[in-house]
Amino acid sequence: MKNRAYILFWHRIAEAAYLIFSLAALIVYIIFAASTKGEIATHFAFDGTPDAYGSAWEGITFPIVMLITNIAMSAMVHFLPVQSWNMPGQVTERNAPFRYRNAISMVVLIGLCMSLMSLLGSIFMFKARALMGPVTIGLCVVMTVIIIFYAVKTYKESKRYA
C-alpha cells in the first residue's frame, strides 16, 4: 500500500462504511425492484413530483455505478501514490504529511457521502419518495462543505509548515 503512512484509522473505518453502504444500496434496490409490480416513478421534478415513469429496474444503474466508483476511490486511496494526485500549491517536505492526509480525508468523506446518497436513493426510489430531493441536496451541500473545509485547511497548513 503506497499511502499507508497517510491513512489514518478513521479513514479505514469510513472506507469500510462507504463500501458496506454501497453494497447495501445495491442489495436494497434489488429487493425493492424484485417485489415491485408495474411502473414506478423514475424521475422527479425539483418539487418532488414524479415526471417520468418506467420499470423498477431502470434505476439499478445508480447503485451499480456508485459501488464501482467507491471501489475505485478505495483503490485510489491505497494504491495510487498520493504524491501523484493533482493538488494546488507547493508540496514541501514539512507540509507533505498534512497535505496528503487532508487529500485522503477528503476523498474518504466524499465516498461516504456518495454511498449514503446511493443507499438512501435506493430506499427513497421505492419508499418516502418526497425525501429524495431534500436528502440529495443536503448531501451535495455536505460534500461541498467538505471540499471547502479541506481546501482551506490545506492552504493554512501549507503556509504554517512551508
Q: Is the CB of residue 132 less than 8 Å from the CB of residue 44?
A: yes
Mean pLDDT in residue range 45-68 = 86
**Count of C-beta atoms within a 10 Å radius of residue 77:** 24
Range of the domain at 11: 4-160
Please compute, for residue 150, the number of CA atoms within 13 A of its CA located in the half-sphere on the CB side.
20
Encode pLDDT of 130-159 as tens digits. 788 888 899 999 999 999 999 898 888 877
Which whole-number Å values give the CA distances from 12 to 95, 97, 129, 150, in the listed order? 22, 17, 32, 18
pLDDT at 97: 86
Q: Which has more confidence, 17 or 156?
A: 17
pLDDT at 22: 96
Mean pLDDT in residue range 61-86 = 92
- CB crowding 46-57: b at 16 or more within 10 Å, else e: eeeeeeeeeebe
Q: How many domains does the chain have?
A: 1
The answer to whether residue 48 scores a pLDDT higher than 70 is: no
Mean pLDDT in residue range 64-75 = 94
